[in-house]
A and B are shown apart, each in its own frame.
Chain A
Amino acid sequence: MTLVEFFSEPLNYQYVQRALIAAMLIGLISGILGCFVVVRGMSFFGDALAHSIVPGVAAAFVFTGPGAALGFLAGIDEDLRLFAGGLVAGILSAIVVGVLTRDDRLKEDTAIGVVFVTMFALGIAIISSDPRVYGSREFTHILFGDILAISRSDLITTALCGVVVIGIIGLLYKELLLVSFDRDLAQTLRLPAEGLRMLLLVLMAVTIVASLQIIGVTLTLAMLVTPAATARLLTHRFQTMLPISMLAGASAGCLGIFLSYHLDLATGPTIVLTSTALFLGAFAWAQWWQRVTTV
C-alpha cells in the first residue's frame, strides 16, 4: 500500500469522510479549549465532567425512546436527544461545582469529587434499570467512540459546537486569558470573574459532549489535555499556544481516523494514542532544543 492509498482508499466511504470531518472539528475545539484547561490546571475537572454526562445520556436513552416515560420526545432524532441529555447533565454538574466552590469552604477538587462521582453513579443506576441499554450498540459508542457512529446530524451538532466554542473564545479571548492568569485583576477591574469562570466550565461541557460519539466518555479528557500540553512544550506564549494546540488536535484526529480504519481499531483510543505520539515528539524536541540553546 502506497502512502497515497493509505489516505485515498478510506475516503471512498462516506462514513470515513464524516468521521474525518468530525475528528478534525473535535481536534480543533478540544485543542483551543484545552489550552485553558492546561494553564488553569483543570484536568481533573475535565475528566470528572466527562463522566458526569453519563446520567444525562443514559436518561435520554432510557426515558425518551418510543413508549418510554417521556415518549413524546421520541420524534426527535436520537443522536440529538442523547446529545441534549449529556449537555444538560454536564452543564448542571459544572454549575453545581461552581456554586459549591464559590467561597473557600470546600476546595474545588473535593467538590468535584463529590458531585461527579454522584453523577456517574446515577448514570450507572439508570443504565442498570434498563436491560436494553446494556446490549445497545449506541451505549458502547458513547463510552469508547466508534467510527461508524457519526451520523449527518452528529456532524451538524459537532460543527455548531465548534462555531460556538471557537467563536466565544475568539470574542472573549482577552477576558478569558486575564481571568485565567490573574483572577484578582479581573475582579479589581470589575470584570465578571465568576461569570467568565462559569463560561469556561460550560464550554468544557459542550466540548466533551461534542466529542462523545467519536472519542467516547472515557477518553475525552485526553483530547482536552494532550494537544494543549503538546503546544505548551513548544511555546511560552498563550496566543501562540492556541493555534499549535488546534493544529495538534486536528492532526491527531484525522491521522487517528485513518489508522483506526486501516488497523480496525476503535476510533477513540486510536486518536488518543496518535495525540500522545505527537506529544512525545514535541517533548523530545523541547528537550533537544533546551540542550542546544543552553550550551
Chain B
Amino acid sequence: MSTEDTSAHPGRWLQLAGPGRDEWPGARAHPVPAWLRFFNSELRLVFGRPRNLALLGVLAIVPVFLGILLRLTIGTSGGPGGPPFLNQLAGNGVFLALVVLTLTLTVLLLPLSVGVVSGDAIAGEAGLGTLRGLLTVPSGRTRLLAVKYAAIVVFSLTACLIVSVISLIMGFILFHVGSVTLLSGTTVSLGSGVLRVLTVALFAGAAMASLGAIGLAASTLTQHPVGAIAGVLVLTVASEICDQLPELSAIHSYLPTHYWLSWDGLFRSPVDWSGIEHGLVSYAVYAVIFVAIAWAKLTSADITS
C-alpha cells in the first residue's frame, strides 16, 4: 500500500493525516450504483403511499366484481352489444381480462391511477416542500426527473398487470377455460391465449407510461398535484371525445388515446402487429416530447415552494 503511486490519489495525504475520519463528502464515486438506491427509494415511496395502494386495490377489485357480475348476467343473455370480446367471454374465461382492461381504460380507472401518480410526482414534492430538500441534497434535477419517470413507468406496468392477472384468475374461476378461439376463427392453445392477454397488458402499460409522461410534465407546471391530475384526466377525456368525432378524423391517429384499444390484431391468425406497432410509436413520441417538456421546465424552474 505504501509503495502505491500517491499521485493517483490526491487525497492520500489527508487519509494519512486523519485516519479514522469519515470520507470527505462529495469527493468519491461509489461502487454501489447510487441511482439504484434512489430509484429504490422512489419505488418504495410510490408503492408505500396509502393512496396509491388504495388505487391499486381498486384496480384489483374491479375484475373480481366485474367477473361476478358478468357471470351472473351472461348466463341469461349472451347477446351482442357491450365491449368487444364480451361475447366470447362465456366461451372462455381468458377474455375477462380483455373486457376488464378495455373497461378500466375507457372508464378512466387506469388513466386516473397513472394520472394520480404522475401528476403527484413533482407537484406533490413541491406541495409538501420535500422538493427543496431533495434538490439541496443535491439529488440533481435531471436525475430526480429520470428516477421519477422510471417509477411512473413501473407503476403503469404494475397497474395494468394487476388488472390483467387478477382478471385471468377470476376468468379461470368463473368461466369455462380451455383452448382459445380467436377473432379470425382459429383456435389456439390456452397458453398462447394467456400470452396474448399479457401482451395486451404490457401494451396497455406502455400506453399508461406514455400518459404518465404527460402527467409528469403537468406536474412540473404546478405546485398543486390535484391540478396536474385533473389536467391529465381532462386531456384523456378530450382526446377520447375527439377520437369519436368523424369531423376530426384527420387528427385521430395523432391523439394520445387513439391506439389504446388497437390490440385486436393480436387475436387474429396470423397476428397483425400493425396496431401495436403504431401504438408504440405514438406512445414513444408522446413520452419523449413530454419528458423533454418536464425536463426543460424542472431544470430551469425557481423552486419557491
Judge: A and B partners, yes or no.
no
B residues near A (Cβ < 8 Å) are: none
